Structure 1
Amino acid sequence: MKQGPKSFDWNQARAFLATAEEGSLSGAARKLGQRQPTLSRQVSGLETDLGVMLFERIGRRLELTQAGLEVLKHFKAMGAAANLAALAATGQSQDIEGQVIITTTDVMATYHLPRVLRLLKAQAPGVTINIVTSNEVHDLLHREADISIRHVRPDQPDLVCRKIGELSAQFYASREYLQSHGQPVAAADMAQADIIGFGGAEPMLSALKARGLPLTEKNFKYSCANGTAYLAMVREGLGIGVFESETAIQMPDLVPVLPELDPMPIPVWLVTHRELHTSRRIRVVFDLLAENLL
């Protein structure tokens, strides 16, 4: 008797997609929270079912074969559809309980979010919060986060975003630094200052030179891409930094430098996926952040 086609195994598809994205079975296993032997069996099972080799080993990495590349096109579309289905299902939840993942910068998570989370704890004690700190833009569609706090407006059509205000950034330095190097009283004095770069010298150098400050790469003795570490370097007296006044006000050891200069506006956007915005627990957190974060 002839057997019908074998039913589709979504676990095999997930294992294949994760391995293709991570380039190794170990990386895919970590991403999916599985044991590597289990994931390896799923990938091998998919190759057997399809009758093709999907990966070949190049050094320590697994590279897709031509057949694997063709399969990947179809499975990516299936994965996107599955993500949308999961989003729709989550969006229908009306229970004010469960986890909400918020992604934001380390400075926002350290100096601004805790106050709002205390309000949330009182208003919705059944909601649990997982904070993911990163300066990278997380993919809400793939459920890396439910709500993102960003400084740039996203352009994806499936996202709901609300600008909740602006932060004001300016120069700050420690009292120790100013005692050792002198207090700049005019923009020209900054030519001799030590500036701490955020994420490297070039991005800040271009922006500050456009504001008429006589700076060069020689002014940037240190740089850092981590916000809390950046603040610690400024407080340690390593140089002058640029960050939000709303954060600096919590640090009485810091002094404004050239406060007469126009502050640099930093917009703050709250973002979630259109489907998630219908979830009662996510909506509660979203609205509470919008009303109280700034």
Structure 2
Amino acid sequence: MNWQAISFDWNQVRAFLATVQEGSFSGAARVLKTTQPTVGRQIGGLEKALGVTLVERSVRGLTLTEAGRDLLEHMRTMGEAATLISMVADGKSQDVSGEVTVTGTDLLSAAILPRVLKPLRQTAPGIRVRILASSEMQNLTQREADIAIRHVRPDQPDLIARHLGDFRANLYAASDYLDRVGRPHTPRDVATLDFVGNADPERLMAPLHNMGVPIRPESFVMSSANGVVAWELVKAGYGVSMQPEALGDADPGIERVLPDFPSLEFPMWLVTHRELQTSRRIRVVFDLLARGLSERVRRGNRFA
């Protein structure tokens, strides 16, 4: 192979990397916001430029060839370098306009971010915010988001994080549900009630067991990976759920299952890539979120 003669389009490499990551042309097309035939043509063009076959197509799907496996890590290195170049260039921009993507859990995105971000329309009307409501750990280093609100501190060296404080959560249920089944008097009584779970309901079992509530997997009669849906299930009277105190205490139709039950605390981290801290539009949104979210923590976790 004559490597000095090779010339190819960077979009072809992006198509190849996205296909490997997603496992299909259709998945790559969805991520790249293009069409499946376009992805196929780009990979075909890359194969022609390199003079090798990178993927084999069959009824069982796509499989990397030996050449594809050999070149994959080199292309990933190229992709990381291109991403860093993009971030550095973006970081040098001082134009207070353009899009900023903020990601947080669906419940936080629905209940908190609309109020926190409202002043931005007066202070920087040129900034367009895209809220990515997701419980997934978005990869900031790959620019899936510019700013993330997380409940765990990231450990990637290229990310900077600011601890804004700790939100508190407690056990809540709809008043009409407790009217129907009776109000518990002890933590052990709580374990006899129905529960509404979130993304991974059984993860709640260990801390509740430590707090004297011996719930079982079958206690979770309803659950949803979407926090907003889980909250609506609680309001509809399906059972007990661990929810933010700021949300539960503010709803007149919801009450704490045990008034003296201790709170669970979960931290709130505001995270961005270090290169983006020099971007004026990213910095404006980052600082606004830091002020707004910290204020809500100081006010006793009230969302409103």
TM over 0.5: yes
Show the counterpart of 1:13. 13
Say which SS state the counterpart of residue 281 (structure 1) adopts: helix
**Matching of residues 171-186 of structure 1 within 5 Å:** 171-186=171-186
Unaligned runs of 5+ in 2: 297-304
Contact 2:173-2:254 at 8 Å conserved across structures: yes
> Distance in 2 between the 1:200 and 1:146 partners?
26
Shift of 1:34: 2.3
> Distance in 2 between the 1:97 and 1:200 partners?
38
> Distance in 2 between the 1:115 and 1:201 partners?
29
Shift of 1:59: 2.5
Show the counterpart of 2:99. 99
Contact 2:173-2:240 at 8 Å conserved across structures: yes
Show the counterpart of 2:39. 39
User: 4-13 or 121-130, which moves further after superposition?
Assistant: 4-13
Show the counterpart of 1:26. 26
Say which SS state the counterpart of residue 260 (structure 2) adopts: coil
Contact 1:185-1:258 at 8 Å conserved across structures: yes
Show the counterpart of 1:88. 88
> Distance in 2 between the 1:200 and 1:75 partners?
35
Contact 2:169-2:243 at 8 Å conserved across structures: yes
**Matching of residues 250-289 of structure 1 within 5 Å:** 250-289=250-289
- Letter paired with 2:274: R
Show the counterpart of 1:226. 226
Shift of 1:93: 0.9
> Distance in 2 between the 1:49 and 1:217 partners?
55
Contact 1:198-1:204 at 8 Å conserved across structures: no
The alignment's TM-score, normalised by the length of structure 2, stands at 0.92
Identity of aligned residues (%): 48
The alignment's TM-score, normalised by the length of structure 1, stands at 0.95
> Distance in 2 between the 1:145 and 1:192 partners?
42
> Distance in 1 between the 2:205 and 2:258 partners?
17
> Distance in 1 between the 2:195 and 2:272 partners?
36
Contact 1:164-1:290 at 8 Å conserved across structures: yes
Shift of 1:201: 3.5
* RMSD (Å) for aligned C-alpha atoms: 1.4
Does 1:125 find its partner at 2:125?
A: yes
**Matching of residues 30-179 of structure 1 within 5 Å:** 30-179=30-179
- Letter paired with 2:216: T
> Distance in 2 between the 1:249 and 1:213 partners?
21
Q: Deviations over 1:83-138 (max 9, x none)?
A: 01111111111111110000101111111111112111111111100000111100
Shift of 1:140: 0.3
Q: Deviations over 1:199-233 (max 9, x none)?
A: 24421111210222132223222222110000011
Contact 1:171-1:259 at 8 Å conserved across structures: no
Unaligned runs of 5+ in 1: none
Does 1:202 find its partner at 2:238?
A: no
- Letter paired with 1:78: M
> Distance in 2 between the 1:268 and 1:174 partners?
27
Contact 1:101-1:146 at 8 Å conserved across structures: yes
Change (3 A) 1:191 1:248: closer
- Letter paired with 2:161: C
User: 60-69 or 70-79, which moves further after superposition?
Assistant: 60-69
> Distance in 2 between the 1:41 and 1:201 partners?
44
User: 212-221 or 156-165, which moves further after superposition?
Assistant: 212-221
Shift of 1:6: 3.9
> Distance in 1 between the 2:24 and 2:153 partners?
34
- Letter paired with 2:250: Q
Change (3 A) 1:129 1:263: same
Show the counterpart of 2:300. none
Shift of 1:60: 4.5
Show the counterpart of 1:214. 214
Show the counterpart of 2:301. none
> Distance in 1 between the 2:219 and 2:139 partners?
36
User: 105-114 or 14-23, which moves further after superposition?
Assistant: 14-23
How many residues in Structure 1 have an aligned counterpart in Structure 2? 291
Say which SS state the counterpart of residue 141 (structure 2) adopts: coil
- Letter paired with 1:85: I
Contact 1:194-1:238 at 8 Å conserved across structures: yes
Q: Deviations over 1:31-84 (max 9, x none)?
A: 212233332222112112222111112424211111101111100000000001
